[in-house]
Amino acid sequence: MISNKFNLLFILIIVSLFFTECKNEKEKKTLLFVGSFTDKKPGKGIYVYDFDDNSGKTELKSVVSDYRNTSFLKLSSNGKYLYSVVDSQMKKNGRVAAFKVDAVDAKIELLNIRDCGGLNPAHLEIDSSGSYLINSNYSDGSLSMFKINSDGSLAENSQVMQFKDSSIIKSRQKSSHIHSASFSPDEKYVFAHDLGADKIRRFNVLVENSSASLQNQKEIKTKLGSGPRHFSFHPNGNFGYLVNELSGKINAYSYTNGNLEFIADYPSYQQKQEIYRTADIHISPDGKFLYASNRGPKEDSISIFSINKINGTLSLVNHQSTGGEHPRNFAIHPSGKFLIVANMFSNAIVIFRRDEITGKLTKLANKISVRNPSSIQIRTY
């Protein structure tokens, strides 16, 4: 009798755990965040969508429209907070806004806004602990650093550095233009990518008394006229890849203890262009494939490369039309099953299903109409 009761109790516990696990799986949801330019052909601001992890379909849940030119977004690594540039491409100093994410109701709530210390904020980067935010100001070539408070809000910027440099393309490189910054895999270094000077600027991250600063700059030169824009480290931490806007090429580097060693460069465009506008770069979660976006003028595409995990070299897989104009930004679903592209000039976000074996993309019928979409973040909660 005791044995039967024990067996029954054991079965009930197993069944209970099974249904609890099923409930937890069912309650998982993925949110898609879209930033936009609010002037010219104006977007409304920041859009939040439910994203169906099976079909790739979306449903608009909320919009924040109180701030101008929320053109670049960045989620904290835990997904609890969303940060956005504000007042980009304006004649006055830009700002950075911090929002708390309500994943249940698919909305965001403003925590605070801080002056970013420069003109035209273009990119945000956050360390994995969610303690520090790096902001890149394009127009005046400056970099600013913020401490993130425990509630996700931003403290005043603790450091602003401006760079004065130039390179050979006078229409784009009369002065420094910091387009983005990246933490190294071990987060001991920050690399800032200066489109106007054809340089990657490396800094040591110095942490003292729970505050951080960037010190001991080292310059890593790229080919003249290349225009460094965005950078992505490989998940294995051994390689890094730089997308060059002005040359339309991707640089591959090996990475060891703060040092980037050039391996090779690869054309991102399928055909030669009079003007190159390569924009964004991401690596698949499994580290097998690299993707980069090309913004016309004759080719709006995603270039797809396979990655040799031993030596970091790239091999072209193919080019996929983005189904729209000017793919400024894109994101890969956390599962690796989808790639979502913001086609800014055609006011549309196009969703692709990604083949995890070949790396190739298949365009889905799901398209989101958004004015001036310029940045995408996606997270499963």
* Structure-token pair, residue 49: 């969508």
Q: Distance between CA atoms of 290 and 244, rounded to whole angstroms? A: 14
Question: CA dihedral in degrees (167, 173, 175, 176; nearest 10)?
Answer: -80
Domain ranges of the chain: 119-370
DSSP conformation class of 28 = -
Q: Please, what is the Cα angle at 207 between 204 and 212, to 5 degrees?
A: 85
β-strand partners of 180? 193
* Structure-token pair, residue 38: 């609010």
* Structure-token pair, residue 86: 């504000």
List the CATH code of the domain at 119-370. 2.130.10.10
Asked whether the beta carbons of 269 and 308 are under 8 A apart, the reply is no
β-strand partners of 25? none
Predicted TM-score of the model (pTM)? 0.92
Residuewise pLDDT in 10s, the chain (381 residues): 555 555 555 565 565 555 555 445 557 999 999 999 998 778 899 999 999 999 999 999 999 999 999 999 999 999 999 999 999 888 889 999 999 999 999 999 999 999 999 999 999 999 999 999 999 999 999 999 999 999 999 999 999 999 999 999 999 999 999 999 999 999 999 999 999 999 999 999 999 888 899 999 999 999 999 999 999 999 999 999 999 999 999 999 999 999 999 999 999 999 999 999 999 999 999 999 999 999 999 999 999 999 999 999 999 999 999 999 999 999 999 999 999 999 999 999 999 999 999 999 999 999 999 999 999 999 999
